[in-house]
Amino acid sequence: MRRAAPATPWHPITSGWSTVFLLPLAGSLVTAVNLLRLGRVDKAVFAALTGIASTAVVLMLWSQGPAWANRTFVTLLLLSLGDAGLFLYLQGADYRAWADDHPDSGPVSAWVAAIRALLGFMLMIVIWVAWAVLLDLAGPAPG
């Protein structure tokens, strides 16, 4: 049975803007899919786990209550910037190797990755809302 040729990747900077503007989970999804396109399953799993871990850190801080709101925002900002750099680093060498092997083809448009980034962003919002509901339900009884 023949394996399908891997799909053309997009430029790694795409995961950077996805991470910074649409939060770490979105960036990790874009990075993981691109690394799969580059044939790096190990790095794709690591990128996905990094996005999940970043989301967990933000949720844990959010659980500490309103006094932690400023720290949660700063942490989210730092995680987004740090993850963006990590995701660029994870893809860099593999993307350059792909570009050297395919001098006649360029990367796929970033718009192809945008749908995955938006799905990751929506997933992050759903997780946040579910977490907020759980925190509210677990809070002290009224009265």
* Structure-model confidence comparison of residues 69 and 137, the more confident one: 137
- Return the minimum-mean-pLDDT range out of 9-23, 44-58, 61-75: 61-75
Residue that the structure tokens 């959010």 belong to: 62
Question: Residue 141's pLDDT is what?
Answer: 58
Helical spans, DSSP H, in the chain: 13-37, 41-62, 69-101, 110-138
**Core vs surface per residue 67-91: b (16+ CB within 10 A) or e:** eeeeebeebbeebbeebbebbbebb
Contact between 87 and 95 (Cβ < 8 Å)? no
| Residue range 7-23: mean pLDDT, rounded | 90
Question: Residue 2's pLDDT is what?
Answer: 42
- Return the minimum-mean-pLDDT range out of 18-22, 68-72, 111-115, 118-122: 68-72
Question: Residue 1's pLDDT is what?
Answer: 45
| Residue range 56-73: mean pLDDT, rounded | 82
In the chain, where are the structural domains located? 13-138
